[in-house]
Structure 1
Amino acid sequence: MDADWSKTELVTVITFYQAVEQAYEQGCLVAKFLTAYQAFKVVVPGKADEKRLDREFKQASGYSIYRAVQAAKKATKKQFRME
């Protein structure tokens, strides 16, 4: 998390984190997940920042943002679930 983010940006990032958690815990609609990811990328456009946030999120939750995004992009059904 970045202290310089606005309230709206924080909500956007948290919404994406919740989508990642949902993908791991119960499955998530691909369209919903990718929409949340696109909004996240507006707040966090740089790869270095995305990787840093991924590391921090994985350390806190055990879930990988990178792996979830890759799975959503490769999904062939409307919903996907991380194994």
Structure 2
Amino acid sequence: MEYQYPIDYDWSTEETVDVIQFYECIEKAYEQKISKNELMEAYRRFKKVVPGKADEKKLTDEFEEISGYSAYLAIKKAKDSDDGEMISLSAGKK
């Protein structure tokens, strides 16, 4: 898909990469499969860059609006899954 990821231009290059990798993991959960561990590690790095709930919601809502992929649903499914389990939301795309 061709769209721009929601980012903050005040972030460092490393922070921007971490956030983009998180978005890519969400895409992977919908388009293929991703391990719970990989998704949750990307989420932990994302949360270091975006620690506030309001900022997280703003960014993930923007991402969902442009991509159709819900970070909330992907993270919820990962949290409800066993370690090492593969996460796939392909049937859940809006």
Letter in 1 for 2:73: R
Q: How does 1:36-47 map to 2 (within 5 A)?
A: 36-47=42-53
Deviation at 1:36, TM superposition (A): 0.5
Identity %: 47
Are 1:60 and 2:66 an aligned pair? yes
- Give 4+ residue runs of structure 1 displaced > 3 Å after superposition: none
Unaligned runs of 5+ in 2: 1-6
Query: Distance between the aligned counterparts of 2:87 and 2:27, measured in 1?
Result: 12
C-alpha RMSD over aligned residues? 0.9
What is the aligned partner in structure 1 of residue 20 from structure 2? 14
Q: Which has the higher helix share?
A: 1
The alignment of Structure 1 onto Structure 2 pairs a total of residues equal to: 83
CA distances 1:27-65 after superposition (whole Å, capped 9, x unpaired) = 101000000000000000000000000111001100011
TM-score (norm 1): 0.95
Deviation at 1:80, TM superposition (A): 1.2
What is the aligned partner in structure 1 of residue 77 from structure 2? 71
Query: Distance between the aligned counterparts of 2:22 and 2:55, measured in 1?
Result: 15
Query: Distance between the aligned counterparts of 2:70 and 2:51, measured in 1?
Result: 18
TM-score (norm 2): 0.85
Query: Distance between the aligned counterparts of 1:78 and 1:67, measured in 2?
Result: 16
